[in-house]
Chain A
Amino acid sequence: MTPGPFTAAERVIGAVTCLGCGCACDDIDVVVRGGAITDARNACTLGLAWFGDGCLPARVRVSGVDATLEAALGAAERLLTRSTRPLVYLAPDLSCEAQREGVAIADVLRAALDSTTSTGAMASVLAAQERGRASATLGQVKNFADVLVFWGVDPSLRYPRYLSRYAVEPSGLRTSEGRRSRTVIAVDIGGSRGPADADLRITLAGDDEVATLTALTANVSADGRRQPQDGPWALARELTPALLAGRYVTFVADAEAEVRFPDRDPGRSAALIAMTQALNARTRCALSLLRAGGNCSGADAVLTWQTGYPAAIDFARGYPRYRPYDGTALARLTRSDVDAALILGSSGLMPAEILAPLAQVPCAVIGPRASDGPLARCDVAIDTGVAGIHEGGTAIRMDDVPLPLRPSVDGFAAAADVARGLRQLVANARRAVPR
């Protein structure tokens, strides 16, 4: 908890959870000196960039002019309650506590509610709702996975410590020799390569991805029928023995991939799920889906427990409706179906295709760098700290395991507190004018 040596002016906060990616490594020692972060020990390059020096603007602005928090919250409340088609958007870097307030505001406003999930991992979310999913927490992978299949992804790029903490290198209960206890299979799909350190490498054309998964599903389902010999079937036949040799097979895939690879077959998520479920008839198998940082998995969880749905929700009728196709923030903004928006979280981490149309919409932004981020010219900007750096609370790892957040730098407004204040104002306004 308190690694030394350190000088009197230096503080070290141990066991800090990093939200730089969805791995949510919680073994970071953050070193703070003179109110600034000088080091984040154990953190990867992504993590170091995410922690930064912990210094942020702390401004409150209404129409570009400095204002009190009270005045800004009042302006935000008026902007939202006078709107007829408001949108509440949960950007990254919020604690679950702040996300809960965001959902409450959307409910009271009868707003549309969405998060970065709808432009990130939505295909895999929808596929899992259709089929379920055979999965595991990351520690199960660490302790049991003797065959690892990296399906078109090299985690070292966007999830740098996944391989060292969870999947390839660590030793565990049934993987006591670490890397040597495991067979690593890299499946390169189009331009998406698996990790360099692989025992077996298979290359697929992007067009063959779903067909290969389907062939694998048929192979492991082992109904004994004669199967075709060509293309995907040949690849599947090459892979099948390696899979069946595993006692605990884990497929690793990037759930966020469809943003970066819009040409991916939309059936891939469902095919991956079906394949990994089917393999459980022969051995044990889990699908580990990589998710982005900033507690986006927390948004899915909070929205689900409060409304029943993980993203793309419409409260217009006074109750939540799930509109994953036509009701996402992007879909609404594209057809100009938003007349005011509340953005909670880091606007700088929002997808560009959402930021662009938001420039035309009256906006209140509550989050880190609201006042100098991409939406700095919004009507109301309230700077807050970053959950996990300046603000405590709870976050959820990519495998749905909750973790505490430990703030290391103080002196910044907590997004959860500011959002709670706004929720109370909005609720009072609604009470004054019964709908």
Chain B
Amino acid sequence: MSRMRITGGTVYDPANGVDGDVRDICIDSGRIVADVPADSSKIDARGMVVMAGGVDVHSHVASGSVNLARRLVAEERSRDAVPAPDFASSHDSVPRSGTGGTVPSTFTTGYRYAGLGYTTVFDAAVAPLSARLSHAEFDDTPIVDGGFFVLMGNDEYLLRLIGNDERERAREYAAWLLGAAGGYAIKIVNPGGIERWKQGDRRPFAGLDAPIGVSGVTPRAILETLVDAGNALGLPHPAHIHCNNLGIAGNVETTIESMRAVVGRRAHFTHLQFHSYGAAKGGVRCSGARELIEYVNTHPETSGDVGQVMFGNATTLSADGPVEYLLHKSTGRKWVNVDIELETGCGIVPFSYKEQAAVSALQWVVGLELFLLSADPWRVVLSTDHPNGGSFMAYPELIRLLMDRTYRADRLKTVNQKLLDGSALADGISREYTLREIAIVTRAGPARLLGLRDKGHLGVGADADVTVYMPDSGGDWSRMFSTPRYVVKGGTLVVEEGQLRQAPGGRRLHVRPGHDAGIEHGLKDFFDRFGTVSFENYSVGALRDAPCAVRDRS
């Protein structure tokens, strides 16, 4: 791997306290180093902005559900055909064509993320039963390092252990499940709610202490058990939580109650925007962003990503089957549901967020409020819950909304105002994100929340994932962030002068925390009785890349 010096760029590396200083970045053997010999290749970055490669903490790019979504929205891809990029093929990397739209094909996903300067992506929802599919899809998603979170919040075996008050065994089971799936973190989606949907229980959510069906297990117990498991196992990323009641008027109370249920313990709450609605007169939604962010601001153990809604086409896809059913019924759009045995669910509904639709406008506003009222960008980071709130391709536009209040105000005037009474954004927020803050919410912050010590920064020893942007002469931040001039991934120059030059395979980020081997005994019996896949065939086995480190157990 070649040595390289990126010279004279204006560097934003907030993890190392570098805020717009002009300095060189040196690379050797895929890592950032202090210096390289004079004959190393050079990238002239004078006048340009240098940041670490972007890190996406919550996206949907590689799973059985994503692939069903690709199949479902075939009609949108004929408008977004993607010829193979023009780079030389190597032994194991042939330039590949594909299709885009809201759920791009795998090669196109890798190319497009890299083309935005993102070099690490996590898929946020994988059923362990189909983990092999996620690994195969990531194998065909070039350039980016990838990993995924393992769905556990409605897992039948886990619910049984919790119901029997066997929380230590539940923790060991979670550890086993992570290793079996080759996943990176524990994911909870609508704790208990998917199980209720599969049982045919349509009653509205009745609070964290309402038991789920016959097991007597409550959403609170699921949250506590899995959050504690994540922390006790020393996982690099804490439990990643999609709360109950997504999208429902007044759900901000549920979200805050869920946060309080694990107060004082590290936990990550995802796509906060979809969980931050108040209930105004007549039961209609209003912004609950102020209330939500006040809690987050004052609880340093709590982190989140926003799940911003962007106007345009989206594809909603989630393990949260009951929510997708409601969306199908309310929009009349086509609908996929898959009840996944013993583990979770899956729902998919195409959707369009429209400026003139009152709810879409409210959602757009709520997301921006969360960003703009957040006191700590390290703990409230950027996502659109791709492709749920919008495509990752909309990140540059989102960055512009955060950095340019004039642009934001102009856009705000064009959206439906019906539900915006009393919203902080409508009342006027003057804050503009700085480049340092953008570097935090798009790379340094997500990397820190994910426990990726070698990513999201440019200190000596870090992975040589570097993005170089050319500021737009007209001051359009969206333009600057949508077409980086150079992208380096693991020391390889993958984007040069805005063109894709190489597409090496990415690494798989996963953990394999040890577990009490005793857990496997009862499990095999459970598989034999209730499963359809042999216990011996369930685990994905050893992966090519070594597992990421976990902390010593606490």
Q: Nearest chain A CB to B534's CB is how many angstroms away?
A: 4
Which residue of B84, B88, B129, B329 is within 8 Å of A401 (Cβ)?
B129
Question: A residues within 8 A CB of B75?
Answer: 129
A136 in the interface (beta carbon within 8 A): yes
Question: B residues within 8 A CB of A128?
Answer: 71-72, 336
Chain B, interface SS category: mixed
Pairwise interchain contact A320-B67, C-beta atoms closer than 8 A: no
Residues of A bordering B, CB below 8 Å = 1, 14-15, 17, 26-27, 96, 100, 104, 107-108, 125, 128-140, 142-144, 165-166, 171-174, 247-248, 277, 280-281, 283-284, 286, 300-302, 304-310, 315, 317-322, 394, 396, 400-404, 423-424, 427-428, 430-431
Pairwise interchain contact B348-A132, C-beta atoms closer than 8 A: yes
Question: B residues within 8 A CB of A104?
Answer: 94, 96
- Interface positions, chain B 75-109, Cβ under 8 Å from A, are 75, 77-78, 81-84, 88-89, 91, 94, 96-99, 101, 104-107
Which residue of A129, A136, A142, A283 is within 8 Å of B74 (Cβ)?
A129
B319-360 vs A: 1/0 string, CB under 8 Å?
A: 000000100110000111111111000001100000000000
Knowing A100-B140, A173-B530, A305-B105, the reply to whether A143 touches B97 (Cβ < 8 A) is: no
Q: Nearest chain A CB to B339's CB is how many angstroms away?
A: 4
Question: A residues within 8 A CB of B532?
Answer: 137-139, 142, 165-166, 401
Which residue of A15, A96, A132, A136 is within 8 Å of B537 (Cβ)?
A15
Question: A residues within 8 A CB of B336?
Answer: 128, 132-135
A-B contact count (CB 8 A): 198
Q: Nearest chain B CB to A165's CB is how many angstroms away?
A: 7
Pairwise interchain contact B67-A301, C-beta atoms closer than 8 A: yes
List 12 additional A-B contacts (Cβ < 8 Å) besides A304-B67, A400-B67, A427-B89: A26-B537, A128-B72, A136-B341, A137-B129, A143-B342, A144-B199, A304-B71, A308-B104, A318-B97, A319-B84, A400-B130, A431-B88
Report the separation of the CA atoms of residues A301 and B70 in the bound assembly, to the nearest whole angstrom.
Answer: 10
Q: Nearest chain A CB to B349's CB is how many angstroms away?
A: 8
Pairwise interchain contact B71-A129, C-beta atoms closer than 8 A: yes
Question: A residues within 8 A CB of B465?
Answer: none
Which residue of B77, B140, B334 is within 8 Å of A305 (Cβ)?
B140
Q: What 6 A-B pairs come out closest when comparing CB atoms?
A: A139-B341, A308-B99, A402-B132, A15-B536, A319-B81, A139-B532
Which residue of B99, B133, B136, B533 is within 8 Å of A319 (Cβ)?
B99
Pairwise interchain contact A403-B340, C-beta atoms closer than 8 A: no
Closest to A318 in B: B83
Q: List 12 A-B contacts (CB under 8 A).
A: A128-B71, A129-B74, A132-B335, A136-B339, A143-B341, A306-B140, A308-B77, A309-B71, A309-B77, A320-B99, A401-B130, A404-B537
Pairwise interchain contact A319-B337, C-beta atoms closer than 8 A: no
Report the separation of the CA atoms of residues A319 and B104 in the bound assembly, to the nearest whole angstrom.
Answer: 13
Q: Which of B96, B105, B156, B200 has the most CB of A within 10 A?
A: B200
Q: Nearest chain A CB to B477's CB is how many angstroms away?
A: 30
Which residue of A132, A248, A322 is within 8 Å of B78 (Cβ)?
A322
Question: A residues within 8 A CB of B98?
Answer: 306-308, 319-320
Question: B residues within 8 A CB of A402?
Answer: 64, 130, 132-133, 136
Closest to B336 in A: A132
Report the separation of the CA atoms of residues A289 and B156 in the bound assembly, to the nearest whole angstrom.
Answer: 25
Report the separation of the CA atoms of residues A308 and B329 in the bound assembly, to the nearest whole angstrom.
Answer: 26
Report the separation of the CA atoms of residues A378 and B261 in the bound assembly, to the nearest whole angstrom.
Answer: 68
Q: Nearest chain B CB to A94's CB is how many angstroms away?
A: 14
Question: A residues within 8 A CB of B334?
Answer: 130-132
Pairwise interchain contact B68-A400, C-beta atoms closer than 8 A: yes
B137 in the interface (beta carbon within 8 A): yes
Report the separation of the CA atoms of residues A396 and B537 in the bound assembly, to the nearest whole angstrom.
Answer: 13
Pairwise interchain contact B106-A306, C-beta atoms closer than 8 A: yes
Closest to A302 in B: B136
Pairwise interchain contact B534-A26, C-beta atoms closer than 8 A: yes
Pairwise interchain contact B71-A394, C-beta atoms closer than 8 A: no
B198 in the interface (beta carbon within 8 A): yes
Pairwise interchain contact B82-A319, C-beta atoms closer than 8 A: yes
Q: Nearest chain A CB to B67's CB is how many angstroms away?
A: 5
Closest to B100 in A: A308
Knowing A308-B99, A319-B82, the reply to whether A280 touches B325 (Cβ < 8 A) is: yes
Q: Which of A14, A166, A402, A423 has the most CB of B within 10 A?
A: A402
Closest to B63 in A: A305
Question: A residues within 8 A CB of B105?
Answer: 304-308, 320
Report the separation of the CA atoms of residues A137 and B348 in the bound assembly, to the nearest whole angstrom.
Answer: 16
Pairwise interchain contact A137-B339, C-beta atoms closer than 8 A: yes
Report the separation of the CA atoms of residues A283 and B541 in the bound assembly, to the nearest whole angstrom.
Answer: 39
Report the separation of the CA atoms of residues A428 and B94 in the bound assembly, to the nearest whole angstrom.
Answer: 10
